[in-house]
Amino acid sequence: MKKNETIEMMKYIRTNYEFFEITEEKINVWYESLKEYKFNDVLNNLKKVIGSGQWKSAPPLDVITHGLKEQSSYLDWQKGVVKCPRCGKAFNIENESYECKALDKHRSRCNSIDYVIRETKKHFGKELTRAELWNMDEEEFNYRYDKLVEYIKKNTKDETLINFLDYEKNPPIQEIAKAEIERVFGNAQSI
Ligand SMILES: [Zn+2]
């Protein structure tokens, strides 16, 4: 998205969270984080997040961009190939729907693997490799991931982090979010 779209996004947040401050510095930080995403993707996500009612103060950027594809992952779209922005693995999506299921599944695991590597090093000083985490079957990986998240939640007092980890585990059901948005804003399309 463009810089003026980032500002528009931040103004939209402020209409929902009156204590959300917009400064020149913050605009630059947000723009750096958001420029790789499509404006409409982020706006739709933001509406869902706000509609979920889970955030008493403005949601962090991680939450706002949760699950979205960066523009770079659309690069070879016309050739029917989309790449994972984290590891570069290519997926042929010619015969798949727009919501590429194989890629989505891969990306979710790829993101979780990065997270597990980072947090394991931080909390236990242990270096894991991507390869060994990819080699685990899904059940084992999920089990270990959940254990790590539980550990982090027990050992932090950071409410925003706890909120975020809960949100990751139980994202709001779309229908509930949509109903909530309509209740609060009326027809969301007109915003
Ligand atoms: Zn990947």
CA of 4 to the centre of ligand 1 (A): 31
pLDDT in tens, 94-135: 665 555 577 778 888 888 898 899 999 999 999 999 999 999
Quick check: 82 and 90 in contact, CB under 8 A? yes
Cα–Cα nearest to 39, from 68, 16, 63: 68
How far is the centre of ligand 1, averaged over its atoms, from the C-alpha of 109 (Å)? 8
Rounded to the nearest angstrom, the distance between the alpha carbon of 50 and the centre of ligand 1 is 28
Q: What is the pLDDT of residues 65-74, one digit of tens each?
A: 888 877 665 5
Higher pLDDT, 5 or 190: 5
Report pLDDT digits (tens) over 33-60. Answer: 898 888 988 999 999 999 988 888 899 8
Distance 46 CA to ligand 1 centre (A): 24
Give the Å distance between the CA of 32 and the centre of ligand 1: 22
CA of 106 to the centre of ligand 1 (A): 6
Write the CA distances from 166 to 88, 110, 186, integer angstroms: 29, 19, 28
pLDDT tens digit sequence for 142-177: 999 999 989 988 988 888 778 777 766 665 555 555
pLDDT at 74: 56
Cα–ligand 1 centroid distance for 115 (angstroms): 13
20 has pLDDT over 80: yes
Which of 75, 63, 58 lies closest to 33, judged by CA? 63
CA of 132 to the centre of ligand 1 (A): 14
Residue 103 burial by CB count (10 A; 0-12/13-18/19+): exposed, middle or buried?
buried
